[in-house]
Structure 1
């Protein structure tokens, strides 16, 4: 199969070709590997080459599964693949091989996917850009001078560049939605408890969730069906849906009550092009028959952010202190990046009561926002504060780091901490040709409704054939 044929299909489409015997898993993998060799030097999306592992897997006799034979990449953070290291973008963990697969990796293998590499991520997923010292900067296929976002930047860059149609990703403050928006992809952050982190514990007090970035809506739904299995001992979980998510894509979403805002929740204002994109998306939804009204998002955002910062800092401190105990010597400042060290120091200062009060602020924010959804089915707002920013913009002046951080990602972290499902849909492009994602947030546990809406939007404003010029 040549690349042009390969890129015409999403993951479900490729699996269909394998099922009909029109192409083999090995042929698909070699197409993906060839594309990776062509474009990865320019974007640095794939940072661990597991091609030989993939080739061995692709040679196995295929069985009829949802995604049999589809080439796939894991993010180098959060998911363990037995026998390979998960660096988390840090030199501290670059040589520690996993003893067993994570539950999500087991599910991917059971779905028939062929894993052949791992993707770039910032150190411990702490930044919304992907420029780790260990792995090097990842670049956006729409403009290689700009970031693909983060922390699933490598995943989004690889999908946008056509290496794979979908890739594993995770989201603790926007890390699926940010790169999906920056790279012109569909990105669903599922509800808290929808996807297990087993055998690991919760991520960032329950804020973090795993899933994927995809080119099509149905790929996201099929992938979520494959992995939304509660594991024994999960600290919280959602029961599998009544109907497969894949069956929701294409169903009529009905007449929805949609509240929208052009606000930048954690910053002063949106970039004018992002604001215009929100207003156009609101008009689109109204034209599709939904009731659309402007709203103000309630809740004490500042208190939530302070609490989330304490939870994240304490989590980083716990991770690094556990590693220090394992190896018998302290973590030194030169072993991690400057911002990671600062978060580590913050985390060490978080007391038990600070942590509990932080969680209380997070939960209070979630209750306040949930009240909005007693009247509205969906909240519509910009995913990001601006299109993709230049490489190095966040860290070139550390005194400006925090305002620049939230100017770029003002609207995503809120919904990690409420636990609600939120998706970014590539409905707009800037005058300079950069993608602009629109975020839609649903009620807790109601991914099905978001998938129905996403399918409707995908039909109304198709984006699948709009590909990066790399």
Structure 2
């Protein structure tokens, strides 16, 4: 077991991204100084965490020296997740099966990211094709949790979460197709907001598919960083028919009626640590004047098979159409066992896909109907505490690992299929001192209310710091 972080007395200090951006804007810190300090911090923690997939430091330092950044985070160092095209960097999707061909241009998501002023130092690690909830591999060391390197950092935005939690950078790009912002944020003690479908640019890998599961965003150490990021993306790209969010800069005045879901759809019980911390969160909410009422999960158990059928379709698409989906040079023989197992699962059940897509759309209506009576939904982010490295290993017995994964990731996918926003906040700790995330969902377009309550909870129950 090892506790790893890079916080120190350099120009980054304990600053969040907003604080660092203000220091850069005032001239106290230059973008070059910030980039150099972040790279030094990455070099200190990378041997323990293995969280960087692609290093772009030479070009990042040149960009920093030119100092031509604009946006809310002008000059702040960051990383992009390695399933999103950044011109000049190979988009490897966490898999040895993908050829290291540099992307020709930024995709739309990337243009929004760099439009906020972030200086991209490289790409962060992720598990193969983002298909699982731990950042582990069959051909290289796992990305580890900086709170305790014996444990998983979550996934699929695992490298991003590990680096932000360790203090290497204050903010990092992440995306979420079943919990992949929220799971690693919860595992590493961070704030992770999955925006509403349509709030940000569509992910390239979702084009043409019947249900768009993926939303892009960031993982951060403070609610205000997440709020400023969302506001700056909205400045660049108004959210169409969605109600505007604007810049949320503190708690709201309205008291919310909150539906509590404390039983996973799998029928299993929460572990003792998660149940205790969820109850403590309810107590805080009620002490602040919010009303919390327990309800059953608004979708039935058939949702599990419906979502996994669609999830398996994504693995099948990579397995059988990799050259089209991830580029020339794709080598199917180098796919990891978990991706192959999930693809084989799709083949066994392919006939169910039309019914599963219909079922997911019906589940969306049922899930969103909760908001006819409640403002928000509260649940744990995950059904149990962070597992050790190896528990969800991609080279383990597929059926066993898959069953463990379903039990673990029991609360987050409903927001992906329904398109609704959700945020995880680091409001709890398990018996090992590892973070536990609490999860709040709103109806489509409800990010403002989520952020207002997140600010309130952050003030009432300040988030633990890894450097303390």
Q: Same fold (TM over 0.5)?
A: yes
- Per-residue deviation, 1:60: 1.4
Shift of 1:7: 3.5
CA contact (8 A) 2:146 2:162 kept: yes
| Match 2:373 to one of 364, 372, 375 | 375
How far has the Cα of 1:227 moved from its partner? Answer: 3.0
Q: State the secondary structure of the residue aligned to 1:23.
A: coil
**Partner Cα distance (2:387, 2:411) in 1:** 16
Q: CA deviation at 1:251?
A: 3.9
CA-CA distance at 1:41 after TM superposition:
0.5
Is the CA contact (8 Å cut-off) linking 2:21 and 2:73 kept in structure 1? yes
Would you say the 8 A contact 1:321–1:330 is kept in 2? Answer: no
What is residue 104 of structure 2 aligned with on the other side?
Answer: 99
Q: 1:402 is matched with which residue? A: 402
Cα drift, residue 226 of structure 1 = 3.0
**1:262 counterpart residue number:** 262
Q: Which runs of 5+ in 1 are unaligned?
A: none
Unaligned runs of 5+ in 2: 1-6
User: Over the residues paired in the alignment, what is the CA RMSD in angstroms?
Assistant: 2.4
Q: CA deviation at 1:323?
A: 3.0
* Aligned-partner Cα distance in 1 for 2:81–2:328: 28
Aligned 8 A contact 2:203 2:216 in 1? no
Contact persistence 1:229–1:240 (CA under 8 A): no
| Separation in structure 2 between the aligned mates of residue 129 and residue 371 of structure 1, nearest angstrom | 32
Partner of 2:87 in structure 1? 82
Instruction: Report deviation, 1:329.
Output: 9.5
Distance 1:440 1:47, change over 3 A: same
| Separation of aligned partners in 2, 1:468 and 1:431 | 18
Of 28, 37, 40, which residue of structure 2 is paired with 1:34? 40
SS at match of 1:380: strand
Instruction: Report the CA distance between 1:134 and its aligned residue.
Output: 4.5
How far is 1:205 from its partner?
Answer: 2.4
**In structure 2, do the counterparts of structure 1 residues 210 and 198 end up closer, same or farther at CA, with 3 Å as the change threshold?**
closer
Aligned-partner Cα distance in 2 for 1:328–1:382: 41
CA 1:361–1:38: 2 relative to 1, 3 Å: same
Report the counterpart of residue 439 of structure 2 in structure 1. Answer: 439
> 1:83 touches 1:99 (CA, 8 Å); kept in 2?
yes
Matches within 5 A, 1:214-293: 214-228=220-234, 238-239=240-241, 241-244=243-246, 246=247, 248-293=248-293
- What TM-score, normalized by structure 1, do the two folds share? 0.91
1:338 corresponds in structure 2 to 337
- Counterpart of 1:384 in structure 2 is 382
Displacement of 1:11 after TM fit? 0.5
Q: 1:329 to 1:30 in 2, by over 3 A?
A: closer
| Paired position in structure 2 for 1:458 | 458
When residues 417 and 229 of structure 1 are mapped into structure 2, their CA distance, relative to the original with a 3 A threshold, is farther
Q: Which one of the candidate residues 178, 188, 192 is aligned to 2:193?
A: 188
- For the residues of structure 2 that align with 1:341 and 1:218, how far apart are their CA atoms? 40
